[in-house]
Structure 1
């Protein structure tokens, strides 16, 4: 400094000389490395009427060619930076929703950076980058957002549950349809095998016993089926097998009468067995 003005700006390393005070004086040592400055905005309203706070940070470089302008022409540069940062942010926030502030803050960052460079470029300041932190919410807004988030989670869970039920029911229906199809195919195959077996039996019977009435073969097959049914039913403990004997073509036989006489007897026997079982259970207890 000399006479109230900058006589020389030193921006390079090495040995430099100045006249003794009071002719020359060192005004200030000014760093040229990048530095940052932050500003927090309190209680600004979004487009959906949410009240938020917002922290904005700017990263600044000072030009070595304009040290005098940056130091003498600006009164309290840091305060002026913060004022422009807050003003520029408030120009954009009312157009954005709260969701925008969380998901897309690039609009605010670009606008603040442009405004800062527009105002302070002539003083040797370059704003390299601007960042915006997550909005700071009041307790009422936090509670509302949490309630909305929980409701969305409940709705999503309900939808997934309905989809799972739907898929399970569809799977069960498809399985039942496939099972019915297979049972039908198996039944058709059994009937075809039965017809083929019966045809083969009839053909062989007629060949080897040509003088015997074919009805004898059918009665024999009926007896074989009855025997198989009796064997199958008697394999399970507790089953009662009732067999009607005799044929209507034999003298004195009447199947309907025999069965009618057997019904009361069967009912009595079943009642007796159930009573005996109950008595035994009580004695065991």
Structure 2
């Protein structure tokens, strides 16, 4: 008899326990009546009809989740890269039943949307543009996923796109391109520096020539003024004409030239300025040269002594 009373008690306790629904924080449970969705139970303690009339599903998380995916893409200029993407998403509490029942494996389906959208966006961009299009990727993926996943009760919180990662061969080729560009820029800069130095040097030389020309002009001016002053003084004191004075000065210069030439010996030919009009002046230099040769021979004989008969 004791066992017969115990059986209903055990059954009642079992049914009572199946009526209790305890749900953790940031989780929900689906209540089904004979397999049909009935209601959603949020965090805390709640009750339902006993089993098998109603059943409670396992806890379904409302926490924010993150999904990371490296998407292999091909650019419009045939460069292959991996685009790292991180997606942050969560279940909409008001549509938790859609998220629970409509999708069997939500992560796989979200990955499929990400891969398709990223490859479609990358297909119209060049290799260099891929590094500048993080905002484009984020915007396109977020827009597509927000629209698609909202139907299934999911909210896309954020899309994060890191820098594309090229292959090792592509990275080395890109480094060589950058290096050649830097070398070309360096050569251009060096050529520009050499051109500037050449221009500066030419300008300096031109300025120096101007200074020298001014100095020569000033020197000639000073000499001319000195000669004019001397000529005027000579004419005033001697009573000769300016032409006679110039002739006198030329003859003095010619005699000094003959004297200087005779000092070095050898054969020296001197053509006087008056050789155009006076034949005597034309032979003055040759006479001077002959006298210089004779003088040199006489000095040599005096040094060696007279030759015996």
Normalising TM by the smaller chain, what interval? 0.5 to 0.7
Identify if the C-alpha distance between structure 1 residues 55 and 218 changes in structure 2 by more than 3 Å, giving closer, same or farther.
Answer: same
Q: Are 2:202 and 1:173 equivalent residues in the alignment?
A: yes
Q: Are 2:65 and 1:38 equivalent residues in the alignment?
A: no
Matches within 5 A, 1:135-284: 135-207=164-236, 209-211=237-239, 214-215=245-246, 218=249, 243-244=260-261, 254-258=284-288, 261=292
Identify if the C-alpha distance between structure 1 residues 216 and 85 changes in structure 2 by more than 3 Å, giving closer, same or farther.
Answer: same
For residue 59 of structure 2, the aligned residue among 19, 25, 28 is 28
Tell me, which stretches of 5 or more residues in structure 1 are unaligned? 227-241, 266-285
Asked if structure 1 preserves the Cα contact closer than 8 Å seen for 2:31 and 2:41, the reply is no
Matches within 5 A, 1:74-89: 74-89=103-118
Between structure 1 and structure 2, the one with the greater Rg is: 2
Match of 1:7?
Answer: 39
Asked if structure 1 preserves the Cα contact closer than 8 Å seen for 2:67 and 2:87, the reply is yes
Identify if the C-alpha distance between structure 1 residues 257 and 37 changes in structure 2 by more than 3 Å, giving closer, same or farther.
Answer: farther
Counterpart secondary structure, 1:243: helix
Asked if structure 1 preserves the Cα contact closer than 8 Å seen for 2:95 and 2:153, the reply is yes
Match of 1:54?
Answer: 83
Asked if structure 2 preserves the Cα contact closer than 8 Å seen for 1:18 and 1:24, the reply is no
Deviation at 1:98, TM superposition (A): 1.2
Deviation at 1:53, TM superposition (A): 1.8
- Map Cα deviations across residues 95-119 of structure 1 (whole Å, 9 max, x no partner): 2211111223333332211110111
Q: Are 2:143 and 1:126 equivalent residues in the alignment?
A: no
Cα distance in 2 for partners of 1:189, 1:179 equals 15
Superposition TM-score, scaled by structure 2 size: 0.62
Identify if the C-alpha distance between structure 1 residues 201 and 61 changes in structure 2 by more than 3 Å, giving closer, same or farther.
Answer: farther
Match of 2:47?
Answer: 19
Deviation at 1:164, TM superposition (A): 2.4
Deviation at 1:92, TM superposition (A): 2.0
Asked if structure 1 preserves the Cα contact closer than 8 Å seen for 2:88 and 2:157, the reply is yes
Q: Which has the higher contact order (CA 8 A, sep 6+)?
A: 1
Identify if the C-alpha distance between structure 1 residues 157 and 24 changes in structure 2 by more than 3 Å, giving closer, same or farther.
Answer: same
Asked if structure 2 preserves the Cα contact closer than 8 Å seen for 1:60 and 1:129, the reply is yes
CA RMSD, 1 decimal: 3.9
Superposition TM-score, scaled by structure 1 size: 0.66
Cα distance in 2 for partners of 1:114, 1:129 equals 11
Could you say which structure has the higher strand fraction? 2
Identify if the C-alpha distance between structure 1 residues 215 and 56 changes in structure 2 by more than 3 Å, giving closer, same or farther.
Answer: same
Match of 1:103?
Answer: 132
Match of 1:68?
Answer: 97
Tell me, which stretches of 5 or more residues in structure 2 are unaligned? 1-29, 264-269, 275-282, 297-309
